[in-house]
A and B are shown apart, each in its own frame.
Chain A
Amino acid sequence: DTAVSQTPKYLVTQMGNDKSIKCEQNLGHDTMYWYKQDSKKFLKIMFSYNNKELIINETVPNRFSPKSPDKAHLNLHINSLELGDSAVYFCASSPGTSLAKNIQYFGAGTRLSVL
């Protein structure tokens, strides 16, 4: 069983469209994250949720809206896609919010290409 699964794995779409990426974890973790990895492999945190509540919201455009229907799911919705949104998006989860003590488990990534 995949611990952190995200779908789709690949997403190709036109500029201006709205798309969603789904993430689910079956580890029983309380905390979930979204990261963006750019073409240079640099990984930046976007959002973090703990028990469905937003705890980290880095400076990202408000076209990006995370939604956590329950603590096992954290979906990422992106409105009005732009070329610069092309990247690999990683979902992750950890048992708690203390990153010093809690290992993060990552999904395999969603490669988003905006044409």
Chain B
Amino acid sequence: GNSVTQMEGPVTLSEEAFLTINCTYTATGYPSLFWYVQYPGEGLQLLLKATKADDKGSNKGFEATYRKETTSFHLEKGSVQVSDSAVYFCALSVNDMRFGAGTRLTVKP
């Protein structure tokens, strides 16, 4: 079946550090891939998405590239801020939406 596996957290970084959150997927067909972010006490918000191989999604300094050869969609940011502290969810969509387990990121000043 379709599924997403993302690195377990929590991840704790200092401000301005480089962030990578790994995400790999298994899917039949051609999925679209997403990263959602959940800030404390809020619902999920779409951060970025990519709909086909080699597409790069980007938003708010975050990037992820759809790699079909490695079935991956790793999230990266060059310099994190305290305000990036949240839970990040990788997701894929073929016929329905499948979310990963979420990775909690804490950024310390």
Is A15 interfacial (CB 8 A cutoff)?
Answer: no
Number of interface residues of A (CB under 8 A): 21
Q: Which 8 residue pairs of A and B lie closest in terms of their CB atoms, listed nearest first?
A: A106-B43, A99-B93, A41-B102, A100-B32, A43-B99, A106-B44, A108-B43, A42-B101
- Using a CB–CB cutoff of 8 Å, the interface residues on chain B facing chain A are 31-32, 36, 41-46, 49, 51, 87, 89, 93-97, 99, 101-102, 104
B51 to A, closest residue via Cβ:
A100
CB-based contact B43/A109 at 8 Å: yes
CB-based contact B42/A108 at 8 Å: yes
Across chains A and B, the number of contacting residue pairs, with CB separation under 8 Å, is 51
Is A104 interfacial (CB 8 A cutoff)?
Answer: yes
- Residues of chain B within 8 A (CB-CB) of A45 are 96-97
- Residues of chain B within 8 A (CB-CB) of A107 are 43
B43 to A, closest residue via Cβ:
A106
Interfacial residues of chain A within 24-63, with CB under 8 A of chain B in the complex: 40-45, 48, 56
- Residues of chain A within 8 A (CB-CB) of B95 are 99
- Residues of chain B within 8 A (CB-CB) of A92 are 43-44
The CA of A4 and the CA of B43, in the complex, are separated in Å by 9
Give A74-115 as 1s and 0s: 1 = Cβ < 8 Å from B's Cβ atoms. 000000000000000010100000011101111111000000
- Using a CB–CB cutoff of 8 Å, the interface residues on chain A facing chain B are 4, 40-45, 48, 56, 90, 92, 99-101, 103-109
- Residues of chain B within 8 A (CB-CB) of A99 are 32, 93, 95-97
B50 to A: closest C-beta gap in Å? 11
Specify which of A42, A99, A108 lies most central, judged by the most chain B CB atoms within 10 Å of its CB: A99
- 25 inter-chain pairs at a CB distance below 8 angstroms, sorted by A residue, are A4-B43, A40-B101, A41-B87, A41-B104, A42-B101, A42-B102, A43-B44, A43-B99, A43-B102, A44-B99, A56-B96, A92-B43, A99-B32, A99-B96, A100-B32, A100-B94, A103-B46, A104-B44, A104-B46, A105-B46, A106-B43, A106-B45, A107-B43, A108-B41, A109-B43
